[in-house]
Amino acid sequence: MKTNIHYVLGQNSIEEAIERLQKNDFPKGINAVIFLLHKPVGQGTAENVLLADDSRVKDFFAQIDAQHTFKVGMDSCHVPGAVNFCGNIHPASLDTCEGGRFSCYISADMQMTPCSFDQERKYEVSLRTYIIEEAWNSLEFENFRNRMKGACPACEKRELCMGGCPLMREIVLCSRSTKQYIE
């Protein structure tokens, strides 16, 4: 059985992550370490959110760029950081936010949202009222998609990250001057 370690990366864990990657200090024989970006929802806090201009973020992505004895992966929320700080990642290996484009979330109370992190339920559609296809094609989902479509129109890397997270702009690891969102 292949073992993957999921590692939440935030203010409280980035230094350890950098050190462990530098020293190859993960258990021998693992398949991969998958980094998940800390989000300020649920039990997550705003104080633990990483900032694009934090030098440790650049150091972390330098380690992502390096060779390891195991695979290194990341959730799509890391893609703006990879686009901005990595030089050895093949663009075809990047998969930006799929919310409302290739995936969605359905809660236990039958509410469909483009992303499970839509804690404010700004883009929710009730599956008690609509079928999945109608929810997918709803104005709410289209508004979510439009936030991605309209983000950062002047950026040359826009197609790779689509402006990052349309729900929580504070987690987008980009400090480019072309960073621009529509509301």
In a domain, 170, yes or no: no
> Which domain does 72 fall in, by range?
4-97+152-160
Residues comprising the chain, all counted: 183
The pLDDT score that the predictor gives to residue 42 is 87
In a domain, 21, yes or no: yes
Task: Specify whether 110 is located in the same domain as 84.
Answer: no
Task: Specify whether 56 is located in the same domain as 128.
Answer: no
With a CB cutoff of 8 Å and minimum separation 6, the contacts of 175 are 52, 53, 84
Q: What percent of the chain has pLDDT over 70?
A: 98
Give the tens place of pLDDT for each residue, 17-28. Answer: 999 999 999 999
pTM of the entire predicted model: 0.88
Task: Specify whether 76 is located in the same domain as 156.
Answer: yes
In a domain, 85, yes or no: yes
Query: Beta 111-113 vs 105-106: how paired, if at all?
Result: antiparallel
The pLDDT score that the predictor gives to residue 182 is 62
Give the tens place of pLDDT for each residue, 85-144. Answer: 998 888 888 888 899 999 999 999 999 999 999 989 999 999 999 999 999 999 999 999
In a domain, 130, yes or no: yes
Task: Specify whether 86 is located in the same domain as 134.
Answer: no
In a domain, 172, yes or no: no
| CA 154 – CA 180 distance, rounded (Å) | 8
In a domain, 60, yes or no: yes
With a CB cutoff of 8 Å and minimum separation 6, the contacts of 60 are 9, 14, 17, 18, 21, 81, 85
